[in-house]
Amino acid sequence: MEQQSIASLFDLHGKTALVTGGALGIGQAIARRLAEAGAAIMLVDINLAAAQATAQEIKARSGQAEAIYGNVSEIETIDGILHTTLKTFGSLDILVNNVGIYPFSSALETTEATWDQVFDINLKGTFFYAQKAARHMLQAGHGGRIINISSIDGLTPTRYLSHYGASKSGIIALTKALALELGPHNITVNTIAPGEIVTPGTSSVSTATLETAGVTDMNSNAFLQQIPLGRLGEPDDIAKVALFLASSAADYMTGSLLLVDGGYLLT
C-alpha cells in the first residue's frame, strides 16, 4: 500500500464531525482544529448563542460549520440532531463526545439529583450519542471515528468530585466496550483523558462557589506544582490530540486511552 503524505494523513475534507459541547472551551478548540483540517462541523450545545458565534468564526476562516441546540441528557432529541447534521452536510463521519459537567460536592453531601445529572450528561449522553451515530455510520458503510472525552479523574480521584470521577471512569470502560463491538465495522472508538485544562468553565469556579459546595481546602498552586511540564493545559492541547484520533494517522488505533495531562499522573 502506498504511503500517505503527511498532508493527506490529516486531511479531513469531505468529512463531517459532530461535536457536543462545542460552543466553548475544549469542544470549541476541537471544532476549530477539525474545521482547519477540512471537516464540516455541527456544534451541539445548550448555549446556542455561543455555539453560533463559534460556527460563524469557523465560517469566517473559510470553514464549514453550523450550530444546533442540544442537551445531551435529552436522549429523545439525538435522532433529530443527527438528521439535521446529515441533511446539512450529507454525512456523519466523526463524533466527539466532549460535553461534561463537574459540580463540586463532598461525597457525604452529594444528592441523588446531582448524581443523576452528572451521569445523565457525562455517561448516558455519551453512550446514546455514540450508539445512534454508529448506526448512521454503519448504515452508510464508510466506517467512522468516535472520540470520547474522559478525564484523569476517571483514573485517580479528586476530592469533592466522586460523582464526576465515577462518570469519567465509566467513559473509559465504555470506550473499550464500544471499540470491541464496532471495530468489525471500521468504526474506531478512542478516549482522551485531559488533566487540568484552563477553560471558561474551570475559570468560573470561584472560591465562593467552592465554599458554597463545602470545599475549603483546594489549592490550585499545589496542583500546578505536581505537573512535570510546569503549566496548566490549554484547550488546544486536547484539540490537537483529537485531530490525530480523527485523522488517518490513527487508522490502527481503537479502544485506546490517551492521557493529556502534562505528566500529572506521573507524580
CA distance 1 to 18: 30
Whether the Cβ atoms of residue 133 and residue 79 lie closer than 8 Å to each other: no
Catalytic residues, by residue number, are 164
CATH number for the segment(s) 6-259: 3.40.50.720
For the entire predicted model, the pTM comes to 0.93
Q: Per residue of the chain (267 residues), give pLDDT as tens.
A: 789 999 999 999 999 999 999 999 999 999 999 999 999 999 999 999 999 999 999 999 999 999 999 999 999 999 999 999 999 999 999 999 999 999 999 999 999 999 999 999 999 999 999 999 999 999 999 999 999 999 999 999 999 999 999 999 999 999 999 999 999 999 999 999 999 999 876 655 544 455 555 555 556 677 789 999 999 999 999 999 999 999 999 999 999 999 999 999 999
